[in-house]
Structure 1
Amino acid sequence: MRCTSSKQVAIVGTGAVGSTIALCTMMKNVASELLLVDSARDFARGQSMDLNDANIVNSTKIRDGTLKEAGQAEVIVITAGAKQGPGESRQQLVDRNYDVLKEVIGGMQPIRRDAIMMLVSNPVDVLTSIAQNLSGLPRKQVFGSGTFLDTSRLTVYLSDLLNVSATCVHAYVLGEHGDSQFIAWDAASIAGRPLLSFPEIKNVDKEKVRLTISNKAMDIIQHKGSTYYGIGACGASLCESILRNSLDVRPLSVYVDEVDTVISVPAKLGAAGIEQIMPIPLAPNEQKQFLESAATLKAIGQRYS
């Protein structure tokens, strides 16, 4: 196992998402130091000062720094990127974020060889694939947050429906973190009992549930303009999995040989990055959705390979 004594996490992009990941990671007390990096250095400095004021329960050091320094962190979290504008296609958004990512990763070089890089910027699956190519790191050390947040939303939705704790619900949203994502209903369970055997689920409009989960971000944006608490908690949880070598299984954006693209599937995450992809049984219609989602992502990603 690699040495985990430094436990430094660099967060590149210190807006609402990056700063929330920093706060949640700090509160978990799993990092010895948080390094905040932003193209607006003064802003990153202000964020680090503000976060230091909140650091009253542990000894995590927080400071601003450079891309060069970020390249030497044990865990590198990239949240920097452009947001999708009105009428802008996904391809146009990828084009703009490719330029951002190229500048960010180029500024980190040479990157520490055992660093773990996590992409949170959207579209996360395609940008993870690009980061794997640009970083020079092994693929298992570069992954994206994928459908972890979508899965969190699903488990909360189902826990409310069935009146059980969300931690008891074992269900995944898989595929693209986007329009073609799908729910793996066939493999979902509670206490070892198939989810589809519950009377409350038999009458549920499953496509309506899928759309509710897929569209939740837009619903939040309509109310408050942006989303950051959910992904902040998910990002911090993933940092914790790495720094504690927890070997948690999460639906993450990883390279899958069978479909030759980066796509969200259950994967075991630990100190060395993606330790193992954990395939789950899919119903025939779910397998079809998975392949269609993979084809969509591969078509977009090929332009940058």
Structure 2
Amino acid sequence: MVTHSRVAIVGAGAVGASLAYALMFKNICSEILIVDINPEIVRAQVLDLADAACVSHTSIRAATAEEAGQADIIVISAGAKQKDGEPRTKLIERNYRVLNNIIGGMQPIRPDAVMLMVANPVDILTHIARKLSGLPPNQVIGSGTYLDTTRLCVYLGEIFDVNPQSVNAFVLGEHGDSQMIAWDSATIGGQPLHTFPQWETLDREAIGKAVSGKAMEIIRLKGATFYGIGACAADLVHTIILNKKIVHPVSVFVEKYGVTLSMPAKIGWEGVQQVYEVPLGKEEEEQLVQSAEALREIEELY
């Protein structure tokens, strides 16, 4: 079994369980540890997931927060959910307390661990987790706009009649209201998107709204989203464990903007190995700066 392969998942709800399930079928982890404040939900998820072990070589068990702190990769999916009519600032305050308890219980965290945040608002919580954990910025990352970018590539794949994996386009900035699409640098097979005939009739504003609003549509229909983010988080863990050095848009501290937001980053054993700047038009650069400023106002409070 490869090294860097002991994974702790903190939060045994639907997202944490979906992530564990996806990871089991990748057969890359030596062990998956499930941690939650509710021991009954941990036991239930472990018992259920263990039944899937018949087609996986990964062992899965309940663990303590202290044990999670010694894992190679620590994924945090636990967090308070936003209540109806609750201001975002109140949600962040509640999640700050949740994170403080979680990370406090993990101490001492192994110094070479990579921490992956998938709870929302992911950019702010990634910033907070970095401060609370004491880990270097490159070792604390968030799922960020990876899922948004995946959704964008699926939409464009349908419009341009290609496999989404052949689309090279990014959603950048905040995973939220101020996120933006880097249209000027989007390509298919190395060919700029704006050189294709479909570009003339492409409703970019509608696509942007569809990408950012898809989660709310799923929540409206079935109450929560978990398969998409579970799969994306599992892919990020896979990339770290195998040191694949794949470029994904993730939440990371970006010196140029002085905040934690999503930019394309090379991912490997150390977490983020390099952050890449996407060529942006003047209007796009302004949108990204605005997104960074919106995040800075909140990040400076923590």
Given the two structures, how large is their TM-score scaled by the length of structure 1? Answer: 0.97
Once residues 129 and 66 of structure 2 are traced to their aligned partners in structure 1, the CA distance between those partners, rounded to angstroms, is 16
Q: 1:49 aligns with which of 47, 55, 60?
A: 47
Q: In structure 1, what is the Cα distance between the partners aligned to 2:20 and 2:9?
A: 7
Looking at structure 2, the residues matched to 197 and 209 of structure 1 have their Cα atoms a distance apart, in angstroms, of 18
Task: Give the 3-state SS of the residue equivalent to 2:25 in structure 1.
Answer: helix
> Which range is displaced more, 3-12 or 201-210?
3-12
Three-state SS of the structure 1 residue aligned to 2:102 is helix
**Is 1:271 matched with 2:269?**
yes
Q: Equivalents in 2 of 1:56, 1:4: separation in Å?
A: 20
Report the CA distance between 1:259 and its aligned residue: 1.0
| 2:204 alignment counterpart | 206
2:56 corresponding residue in structure 1: 58
Deviation at 1:4, TM superposition (A): 5.6
Moved over 3 A (4+): none
Which residue does 1:178 correspond to in 2? 176
**Is residue 2:226 matched to residue 1:228?**
yes
- Please give the secondary structure, in 1, of the residue aligned with 2:116: strand
Deviation at 1:176, TM superposition (A): 0.3
Partner of residue 128 from structure 1, selected from 126, 129, 135: 126
Map 1:137-148 → 2, pairs under 5 A: 137-148=135-146
What is the CA deviation profile of residues 226-280 of structure 1, one whole-angstrom value per residue up to 9, with x for unaligned ones?
A: 1001001000000000000000100000001111110100000001110000111
Report how far residue 202 of structure 1 moved. 2.0
Which residue does 1:217 correspond to in 2? Answer: 215
Q: Structure 1 residue 41: deviation in Å?
A: 1.2
- What is the distance in 2 between the residues matched to 1:201 and 1:24? 36
Q: Residue 251 of structure 2 contacts residue 262 of structure 2 at CA under 8 Å; is this kept in 1?
A: yes
CA-CA distance at 1:85 after TM superposition: 1.1
Aligned-partner SS, 1:221: helix
Deviations 1:86-113 (A, max 9, x none): 1111111111100000000000000001
Shift of 1:192: 0.7
Distance in 2 separating the partners of 1:239 and 1:21: 10
RMSD of aligned residue pairs (Cα, Å): 1.1
Change (3 A) 1:4 1:129: farther
Q: Is 2:169–2:182's contact at 8 Å kept on the other side of the alignment?
A: yes
CA shift digits 1:123-177 (9 cap, x unpaired): 0000000000000111110010000000000001111111110110000000100
Structure 2 unmatched runs, 5+: none
- Separation in 2 of the partners of 1:298 and 1:68? 32
Q: Which residues of structure 1 form unaligned runs of 5+?
A: none
Contact 2:96-2:125 at 8 Å conserved across structures: yes
CA distance in 2, matches of 1:196, 1:55: 47
Shift of the 262–6 alpha-carbon distance from structure 1 to 2, 3 Å rule, reads: closer
